[in-house]
Amino acid sequence: APINNALGFHVGDRLLREVAERLRVHVSDRYMVARLGGDEFALLIPGIGEEEAQAQAQRLVSLMRMPLSLEDQRLDVDIRLGIVMFPRDGTSAADLLRRADLALALASRRHNGFAFGSEVADQPRHEHLTLIGDMRTAMAENEFVPFFQPKLELVSGQIVGAEALLRWQHPTRGLVPPGTFIPFAEQTGFIREITPWLLATIIQQSAEWHRAGLSLVTSINISTLDLTGRQLVIETGRLLREHGLPPDLICLEITESALMDDPEVALRHLGELAALGVKLSIDDYGSGQASLGYVQRLPVHELKIDRAFVDKVDCRGKSAAIIRSTILLCEELGLSVVAEGVETDAELDWLKRNRCGLVQGYRIAKPMPAAMFRQWLAD
């Protein structure tokens, strides 16, 4: 389904046949292939050691990653492998599959595309599995809801944008904050399903505001995993065209850590996203191993000063110096600068005096559902 969405026409059957053909090249009569469900398969290879397994994994990954050409479209295919060894990683099918699943999650965060069961800690998995199941249901049942927090431009006093912050309206647990499920979704790779969904929701919402004559830049947070493949690039381009939304009304917030994992690949995809015309923002600026090299190499539009620095900034000290120099840096480089987590009048005054461009925080407004945000803007 995501493939059909990405290309806007039906390629499912042909794609499956092409992929099956590739597998046939790799698989010998001694192997056993089984479909676990969805797009997950198990490949059972008797009588090989870890070294041979690694060599096979490398071959399979490069074979599968060759782009496909279908109906004049180039299609990037990706594969992830979680590899377990019998009997070292378990003696029952359930144990082996559980470990393979953990290895698969680890592989999702790697560029080489595979990981071994021996590399992951053995942790109770029941709670995790329920949570993943819950997240699947949540998406199908529309339990995920984006909230919006306004961004205020200090000189003009205008609301110039809003950041989308995800909430989970859980049927029994109530409103679940992202801090409890986003890290987990990132760890398991499930974020790859959330982000494209959220992006579609946000672009649709933003297009609606645009048609209503509001001039707002909507920001969305993206994760490391969203940058390992080209899906986000393709989806963003397609959605912008579909909704006829000016690309510069969308801003992607990236944390510094998102860039660290595999900087080259992440940078390439961010470059492609910027080429579509969307804005890029460096989130939590100053909290990571801040590398100004990234700011130099990427067409970044905005820096967001981490909340930790804004906290009690009026007391002077180091935070004040860091914020002031970030504001200066942004002026020099022609970037927007946002101070996030602004909670008090004192903080707001200090930021005004120091000519900070934009502010965001509870002092302005808490994140709220779209309808409430529209109402808040009107009031």
Residues that bind ligand C2E (CB under 6 A): 149, 165-166, 177-179, 182, 198, 221-223, 283-284, 340-343, 361-362, 367
Considering only 101, 235, 256, 284, the residue that binds Ca ion (CB under 5 A) is 284
Nearest-approach distance from CB 183 to ligand C2E, in angstroms:
8
Q: Is 186 in the site for Ca ion (CB under 5 A)?
A: no
In this complex, which beta carbon is closest to ligand C2E, that of residue 166 or of residue 323? 166
Burial 200-214, CB ≥16 within 10 A → b, else e: bbbbebbbebbeeee
Residues 307-346, interacting with Ca ion (CB under 5 A): none
- 311 touches which of Ca ion, ligand C2E, none (CB within 5 to 8 A by kind)? none
Q: How far is CA 175 from CA 172, 222, 315, in A?
A: 9, 21, 35
Nearest-approach distance from CB 22 to Ca ion, in angstroms:
39
Tell the residue number behind the tokens 């060599």, with chain if given: 55
Query: How many Cα atoms within 13 Å fall on the side-chain side of residue 230?
Result: 15
In this complex, which beta carbon is closest to Ca ion, that of residue 86 or of residue 362? 362
3-state secondary structure of 72: coil
DSSP symbols for 121-185: -----HHHHHHHHHHHHHHHTT-EEEEEEEEEETTTTEEEEEEEEEEEEETTTEEE-HHHHHHHH
In this complex, which beta carbon is closest to ligand C2E, that of residue 12 or of residue 177? 177
- 358 touches which of ligand C2E, Ca ion, none (CB within 5 to 8 A by kind)? none
- 188 touches which of ligand C2E, Ca ion, none (CB within 5 to 8 A by kind)? none
Q: Single out the segment in contact with Ca ion by CB under 5 A; choices: 14-22, 74-82, 146-154, 216-224.
A: 216-224
- 223 touches which of ligand C2E, Ca ion, none (CB within 5 to 8 A by kind)? ligand C2E
In this complex, which beta carbon is closest to ligand C2E, that of residue 116 or of residue 147? 147
Nearest-approach distance from CB 340 to Ca ion, in angstroms:
5
Nearest-approach distance from CB 25 to ligand C2E, in angstroms:
37
Element (DSSP H or E) covering residue 304: strand 302-305
Q: Is 253 in the site for Ca ion (CB under 5 A)?
A: yes
In this complex, which beta carbon is closest to ligand C2E, that of residue 174 or of residue 179? 179
**Prior bond of 87 cis (ω within 30°):** yes
Nearest-approach distance from CB 135 to ligand C2E, in angstroms:
13
In this complex, which beta carbon is closest to ligand C2E, that of residue 103 or of residue 233? 233
Rounded-to-integer distance, Cα 191 and Cα 184, Å = 8
Nearest-approach distance from CB 304 to Ca ion, in angstroms:
5
In this complex, which beta carbon is closest to ligand C2E, that of residue 58 or of residue 287? 287
In this complex, which beta carbon is closest to ligand C2E, that of residue 114 or of residue 190? 190
CB 225 within 8 A of CB 254: no
Give the DSSP letter of residue 117.
G
Distance of CA 141 to the CA centre of its chain: 21
- 367 touches which of ligand C2E, Ca ion, none (CB within 5 to 8 A by kind)? ligand C2E
- 272 touches which of ligand C2E, Ca ion, none (CB within 5 to 8 A by kind)? none
Nearest-approach distance from CB 218 to Ca ion, in angstroms:
12
In this complex, which beta carbon is closest to Ca ion, that of residue 284 or of residue 314? 284
3-state secondary structure of 220: strand
- Dihedral class, residue 298 (left if φ above 0, else alpha if ψ from -120 to 50, else beta): beta
* CA proximity to 102, closest of 188, 226, 193: 188
Rounded-to-integer distance, Cα 377 and Cα 284, Å = 26
Rounded-to-integer distance, Cα 243 and Cα 162, Å = 19
Interaction mask 15-54, Ca ion, x per CB under 5 A: ----------------------------------------
In this complex, which beta carbon is closest to ligand C2E, that of residue 96 or of residue 305? 305
Distance of CA 40 to the CA centre of its chain: 21
Angle between helices 178-188 and 191-211 (to 10 degrees): 120
Strands 358-359, 158-170: pairing is unpaired
Nearest-approach distance from CB 191 to ligand C2E, in angstroms:
6
- The contact set with Ca ion (CB under 5 A) reads 221, 253, 283-284
